[in-house]
A and B are shown apart, each in its own frame.
Chain A
Amino acid sequence: MHIVVLIKQVVATTNVKLDPETGTMIRDGVESILNPFDEYAVEEALRIKERMGQGKVTVVTMGPPQAKEIIRKAVGMGVDEGILVSDRLLAGSDTWATAYTLSQVLKKIGDFRMIITGKQAVDGDTAQVGPEIAACLDLPMIAWVRKIESISETQIRAERLMEDGFDVLESPLPAIISVVKEINEPRLESLKGKMRAKKYDPQVLTVADLPGFEVSQVGLKGSPTKVFKTFTPQRQYKGEMIAGEPAQAAANLYEKIKTLKIV
């Protein structure tokens, strides 16, 4: 059973800073890591392979050449192969253009039975790419999987995390799932894995390697999302000091609370 895990390189901070001039993310001096939710996706793929006693796990990422690092991290954890799609023509792609590109890569891979993604990437926080790929490839999708109850070559039964509990869903394979952090505890990179990863050079694809690829669908121009303005909201701290003797201040505060109908 061939499982493909879609992974993304993100900056190692939840405090993303934007360049006010260009509206793009400031990456300088910020460490890049594997999107934390994707670690759960990689772990789950490895567990499925181990549970089934055979199979292959491939990770795919779209990004700049430095994104090879997260492929190496996944190799350290034990995945078999990694593919990087990297092309200047892809720069500025939104979630749809990304989903289109990854779908073309998945078509080229062809023999997968399952696609796993993390719930969302911690930088964009859209959670869109997975469902969009499902649409591109016309595959069933189970999002927010917190547990795989059973899996075979042709069928999956999984629990989908909901706000008020969980759903149990079944789907034929091939299918795509996205996983939440409740699903497992990702393993550390093993020593042998790290040694293999150090020497591992992932396959790099450009759009020219993808048959029938329509360049008009990607890049800044091909992306339906148009960014007009980005800004970091200014935090407003509008506190009011209630001065005076403690007893008087307390009485004043109580009056305020009462007029605001807090109590």
Chain B
Amino acid sequence: MASFELIATIFENLGRRKARVALTAMGVVIGTAAVVVLVSLGIGLQRSATAELGSIGSLTQIQVYPGYGESGPGMVMRAAPGGGGGGGATDQKLLTSEALQELSALPGVVAVIPQEYSQAGGMISFEGLEGYSSIIGIGTNDLGDMGLTAETGTLELRHSTAVIGHRVPENFFDPRQRFEQERPEPPDLMGKQLVLTLEKWEGDGSQSGPTRKVIQLRVIGIIAEARAEADYSIYVPLDDITAINEWVLGRRISRAKEGYSSVLVQVEDVSQALEVADLITELGYQAYTPQSFIQSANRIFLILQAVFGGIGAISLLVAAIGIANTMTMAILERTREIGLLKAIGATNQDVLSIFLGEAAGIGFIGGIGGVLIGWIGGQVINVLAMAFLVGQATEGGPPPSIAIHTPLWLSLFALVFATLIGLLSGLYPALRAATLVPVTALKYE
């Protein structure tokens, strides 16, 4: 039988029995829609979970401190080793410029960024408000290298400018304010001038007060929420911090000899962080990575994948059984028709190709309906869930981001799946009916 003739016959036959076909296709529609909604929900949840976890930039970051050999302290030190310059154990590994090159050569490392904290206590003031945030000198011109993104302005630092963390404005308060008074709205610091007042105590502290130094910083960018240290930090160019620390120490600092007090190593992928940290430790430095966090994050990913993979598989199975059931019934009740076709001269192959074609056609039609309904259902659930979550969201917390997501591949997969299940579930009853002795098929009740 010519394939065109076959396809024409199949669609004619389906067209002649619209009500019956629609009824049979309903089973396919429900199964397919269930698969689409459930898998979309899984994908959506995983995506939002990934977004939440991924936004913690520190997952791809390793904090590296100088190594002090066997005798060195296990604890993290904020300040660089004292002004002695050199001295100490010979197996000391300082974060010199040379060391930076060594680190950047490690596999998976995309950026090596020196970090230096201000060694002077400092108060930041802005229009009568006061704030205390840690000030970090950063050895890169673009904070984007640290996996940060800008909320407003730029992340490219220049001399006498600062890029501030998302929550820095919240740390400003009015010193004249009494306890019971409500806190004012956090100031909008973008493009504003901050005044940094540094203090140091010189000599034996016998003087009447500290020496002060005032520095002006213009805020040129605010970092988007990172859920990490960056949210509470003020970043300035490394040279600016070096100048401050040289003022505090009263001497010049040689990076080639003394190195940096810490270095941020950025790796390409979360999965590499632990491995690279181990390599850095082997080199003799101290490497810190939020590893327990990474491990539990990986566990959560695995559980999420297992749960939604499982739900998807179960819904596929249920859908397949439902489709097979309706298809079997639909073909069984046409056994007499098959007997008649054979009586007027149809071969087994004729019958089989017509009935399998119709089964696949019903699967296809039901698949289209299921994908449409599943997609629409997902959108409706999205809207409802969003409305619910917005109502539930705590004040100042992050906006809800759970969303059903139906990718194109899922729709195509569901369509192919429905067609295939239709075809496969038609196979057994069609084969059975096609090979019946015509008289037996004709007498079938």
Q: Do chains A and B stick together as partners?
A: no
B contact residues vs A (CB 8 Å cutoff): none
A contact residues vs B (CB 8 Å cutoff): none
